[in-house]
Amino acid sequence: MAEEGADLILLDVCETVSDRVGYPMANKDELNETASLVHSAGRRSVVRVADVRDVEALKEAVDGGLEAFGHIDVACANAGLISYGLGWELTEEDWETIIDVNLRGVWNTMRAVVPPMIAARSGSIICTSSAAGLRGMGSMSHYSAAKFGVVGLAKSFAIELADHNVRVNVVHPTGVKSFMTESDDPFAAALFERYPDLVIPTGINLMRTDGFIDPVDVSNAMVWLASDEARFVTGIQLPVDAGYSTKP
């Protein structure tokens, strides 16, 4: 988005929010690296360390962006995390952490950005769901429930905000290459050792047999949804999944 001319509010919690999540989460150095990449593209950034579960922290970040830039045109509700377990074996913490970050975090993000977008009578909100928000997946019922919930939330907001010229859409990525997907998750390993049939098989996608797409593939879809080229696109679900949702 910076390469396409956007100034950005960059926000992340920059810490591990649960010891039940078995991979390393992003840190402040990586957030600052992102800001450096924005600046190298010739754009400005407002950087905040905040938890999407804290709506007041998100509103403070939005206020900082409004003070710096004067308006907010686009919001990407992209923060999320995953853990693994059979649905009846999940702990209360497993359930609450995933639902709170992946679903309530999206709601909080929209609550923070909608008022200035309504005031401007313009905006594009892009929510990240998942291929698991299109099809149920074994070992991640809490994650899938949250990602399906994102769809209902976004479609409802699309209806409510249409008269204000604010668009709301959902992107459904398949697995994306990152330090998260490249890390060894001990909780997932232990579960899949007990139940090997739950392992998501390599080659689940029609077009990428290694099971992963690149981050830029998702970014490109978000840039299009943010742009005037999609000015009458609202309430849709856009899979960026290399055909996963189509494959039998």
Cα R_g (the chain), whole angstroms: 18
pLDDT surpassing 60 at residue 202: no
Question: Which amino acid, 157?
Answer: F
What's the confidence (pLDDT) of residue 199?
A: 59
What CATH number is associated with residue 83? 3.40.50.720
Per-residue pLDDT tens for 152-179? 999 999 999 999 999 999 999 998 988 7
Whether 218 is in a domain gets the answer yes
pLDDT surpassing 70 at residue 204: no
Whether 120 is in a domain gets the answer yes
What's the confidence (pLDDT) of residue 27?
A: 94
Nearest to 82 by CA among 18, 151, 135, 127: 18
Catalytic residues: 143
pLDDT surpassing 70 at residue 109: yes
- How many degrees, rounded to 5, is the angle at CA 73 between CA 61 and CA 214? 85
Percent of the chain at pLDDT > 70 equals: 95
Instruction: Count structural domains, the chain.
Output: 1
Query: Which range is least confidently modeled, 42-46, 119-123, 136-140, 205-209?
Result: 205-209
Mean pLDDT of the chain: 93
What's the confidence (pLDDT) of residue 165?
A: 98
Whether 40 is in a domain gets the answer no
As a whole number, mean pLDDT of residues 47-70 equals 98
What's the confidence (pLDDT) of residue 56?
A: 98
Distance between CA atoms of 14 and 136, rounded to whole angstroms?
29
Whether 204 is in a domain gets the answer yes
Could you tell me which residues come within 8 angstroms of residue 209 by beta carbon, excluding any fewer than 6 positions away?
202, 203
Whether 185 is in a domain gets the answer yes
Query: Which range is least confidently modeled, 26-40, 67-81, 192-206?
Result: 192-206
* Residue 92 domain boundaries: 73-240
- What token pair was written down for 66? 């409004």
Per-residue pLDDT band for 185 (boundaries 50, 70, 90) equals confident
Q: Quote the pTM value.
A: 0.94
140 near 192, Cβ under 8 Å? no
Whether 225 is in a domain gets the answer yes
Whether 93 is in a domain gets the answer yes
What's the confidence (pLDDT) of residue 231?
A: 97
Using CA atoms of 52, 57, 62, 67 in order, give the dihedral in degrees to the nearest 10.
-160
Distance between CA atoms of 179 and 117, rounded to whole angstroms?
34
What's the confidence (pLDDT) of residue 41?
A: 98
Whether 23 is in a domain gets the answer no
